[in-house]
Amino acid sequence: MTRALTRDEFSREAIGYIDHLYRVAVHLVKETQEAEDLVQETYARAFGSYEQFAAGSNLKAWLTRILYNFFFDNYHQKKRWVSVENSSAENDVSDYWEKVPADNPGPESHILLKELSATISDALSRIPEEFRLPIVLVDMGDFSYLEAAEILSCPVGTIRSRLSRGRKLLYYQLSDYVTTKEKKREKI
């Protein structure tokens, strides 16, 4: 049986996840100062209830759930998981299908994608939260679908479908960036 962590051990172990929590926080709130406050408050709350943490379980997921719950309670005005069936985001995904070329696109498409890494955070901020969070948790946080579903309190199938749509929306956002960039190059 795993020994329960002491308060000191817990705090020292938890600080190792500060970069991860900050990454999630900056994609939840708009301002970096708010993100910092969110992370600090997460640690304070985690420390206040560390005895509830089951030793040997996933500390990173537990901290992320605290962060998300605190964000939801204090920064969020909407329902936890809103229906997106009729949202404009749905239409954006449909538009995406018209943009996917049927033929082999050639290697330049991948090269351009590499150039876009600096703009990914910006593009993420422009897609709806319900699509953004699964991407942040799975792609940046390395969580499994099950862990992401537990953090966001939703079914595993929802994570999969929103990741699929979310990545297409993100690609759609980045495609816009590529088009703009190419037009600028043409003008030069």
Partner 1 sequence: MKCEEAQEFITALVDNQVSDEERSLIESHLKDCQRCRFTHGQEQALKREISAAGARLHAPAALRSKILSDRRIFPAPERASESWTERIFPAWPIPRPALGLALAVVLILPILYFMRTPSEPISLAALEIQKKIIGGEVSVQKASHPDELRNWQIRAVNGEFAPVAYDLSSMNVQPVGGVVQEVNGRKMLVTVYAGNGLSVTCFTFIGTEEDAPKIASVFIDPEKKMKFYSFSKDGFNAVLHREGSIICILVSNMSGDELLAMVRAKVQPS
Which is closer to partner 1, CB of 43 or CB of 70? 43
* Min separation Cβ 161 and partner 1, Å: 6
Which is closer to partner 1, CB of 22 or CB of 81? 22
Q: Which of 183, 175, 188 is nearest to 127 (CA)?
A: 175
* Min separation Cβ 20 and partner 1, Å: 9
* Min separation Cβ 77 and partner 1, Å: 26
Which is closer to partner 1, CB of 79 or CB of 176? 176
Residues near partner 1 (CB under 8 A): 6, 8-9, 11-13, 15-19, 21-23, 26, 32, 36, 39-40, 43-44, 47-48, 100-105, 109-110, 113-114, 116-118, 120-121, 124, 135-136, 138-142, 144-145, 160-161, 163-164, 167-168, 170-171, 174
Q: Is the Cβ–Cβ distance between 183 and 158 less than 8 Å?
A: no
Alpha-carbon span 34 to 25, nearest angstrom: 8
Please give the angle made by the CA atoms of 8, 12 and 18, to the nearest 5 degrees: 140
* Min separation Cβ 111 and partner 1, Å: 10
Count CB neighbours of 157 within 10 A.
10
Alpha-carbon span 21 to 25, nearest angstrom: 6
Please report, for residues 54, 82, 179, the alpha-carbon distance to residue 3 in angstroms, rounded to integers and kept in the order given.
9, 40, 56
Place of tokens 């030793």: 55
* Min separation Cβ 58 and partner 1, Å: 12
Q: Is the Cβ–Cβ distance between 168 and 96 less than 8 Å?
A: yes
Both structure tokens of 59: 């500390």
Which is closer to partner 1, CB of 89 or CB of 113? 113
Which is closer to partner 1, CB of 73 or CB of 103? 103
